[in-house]
Amino acid sequence: MSKSDLIIRVAGEGGEGVISAGDFIAAACARAGLEVYTFKTFPAEIRGGYAMYQTRVSDNRIYNQGDTFDVFCAFNGEAYEMNKHLLKPGIAFVYDAESDFQPEEHEGVHTYPITMSKTAKEIGSKQAKNLVALGALSELFNIQKDVLWEVISNKFASKGDDVQTKNRQAFEKGMEQAKALTKADEYKVADPKETKDVIVISGNDAVGLGAILGKLDFFSAYPITPATEIAKYVSAQIPKTGGTLIQAEDEIASIAQVLGASYGGARSMTATSGPGVALMGEMIGMSAMSETPALIVDVQRGGPSTGMPTKHEQSDLMIAINGGHGDCPRVVMAVEDVADCIYMTVEALNITEEYQIPVLLLTDGSLAFSTQTVPTPDPAKIKIVERKRWNGEGEYKRYELTEDGISSMCDPGTPGGMHIGTGLEHNEKGAPFMAPANRQKMQDKRFNKTDRLLKEYKAIEIDGNPDAEAEIGIITWGSTIGVVREAVARLNAEGISAKGFYPKLIWPMPAEQYEAFASKCKKILVPEVNYLGQLSHFIRAETSIQPIPYTICGGLPFNPAMIVEKAKEVI
Q: What local confidence, expressed as pLDDT, does residue 340 receive?
A: 97
Please name which of 152, 189, 143, 144 lies closest in space to residue 170, comparing C-alpha atoms: 152
Q: Which of 343, 363, 381 is the last residue of a domain?
A: 381
Residue 190 lies in a domain: no
Secondary structure of residue 73 in the 3-state scheme: strand
Q: Decide: 282 and 250 in contact? Cβ < 8 Å.
A: no
Assess whether 372 and 433 both reside in one domain.
no
Assess whether 410 and 480 both reside in one domain.
no
Assess whether 299 and 153 both reside in one domain.
no
pLDDT tens digit sequence for 287-322: 999 999 999 999 999 999 999 998 999 999 999 999
- Burial pattern 82-106, b for ≥16 Cβ within 10 A else e, equals ebeeebeeebbbbbbbebeeebeee
Residue 191 lies in a domain: no
Q: State the CATH number of the domain containing residue 35.
A: 3.40.920.10
Assess whether 112 and 11 both reside in one domain.
yes
Q: What local confidence, expressed as pLDDT, does residue 238 receive?
A: 98
The span from the CA of 256 to the CA of 245, in Å, is 14
Residue 82 lies in a domain: yes
CA angle 212, 215, 221 (to 5 degrees): 60
Assess whether 521 and 501 both reside in one domain.
yes
Q: What local confidence, expressed as pLDDT, does residue 191 receive?
A: 87
Assess whether 426 and 537 both reside in one domain.
no
Q: What local confidence, expressed as pLDDT, does residue 45 receive?
A: 66
Residue 363 lies in a domain: yes
Residue 394 lies in a domain: yes
Q: What local confidence, expressed as pLDDT, does residue 194 receive?
A: 81
How many independent structural domains does the chain possess?
Answer: 4
Q: What is the pairing mode between strands 268-272 and 294-300?
A: parallel
Q: Which of 432, 457, 482 is the last residue of a domain?
A: 457
CA angle 552, 554, 558 (to 5 degrees): 50
Assess whether 366 and 298 both reside in one domain.
yes
The residues of the chain scoring below 50 in pLDDT are 1-2
The sign one gets for the Cα dihedral 192, 558, 228, 133 is negative
Residue 411 lies in a domain: yes
Residue 185 lies in a domain: no
Q: State the CATH number of the domain containing residue 495.
A: 3.40.50.920
Assess whether 355 and 500 both reside in one domain.
no
Assess whether 256 and 338 both reside in one domain.
yes
Q: What local confidence, expressed as pLDDT, does residue 396 receive?
A: 96
Helices 116-123 + 129-141 axis angle, to 10: 120
Q: Decide: 508 and 454 in contact? Cβ < 8 Å.
A: yes
Residue 327 lies in a domain: yes
Assess whether 62 and 139 both reside in one domain.
yes
Assess whether 65 and 169 both reside in one domain.
yes
Assess whether 19 and 94 both reside in one domain.
yes
Please name which of 411, 385, 389, 419 lies closest in space to residue 261, comparing C-alpha atoms: 411
Q: State the CATH number of the domain containing residue 341.
A: 3.40.50.970
Q: What local confidence, expressed as pLDDT, does residue 1 receive?
A: 41
Domain of 286, in residue numbers: 200-381
- Burial pattern 348-377, b for ≥16 Cβ within 10 A else e, equals bbbbbbbbbbbbbbbbbbbbbbbbbbbeeb
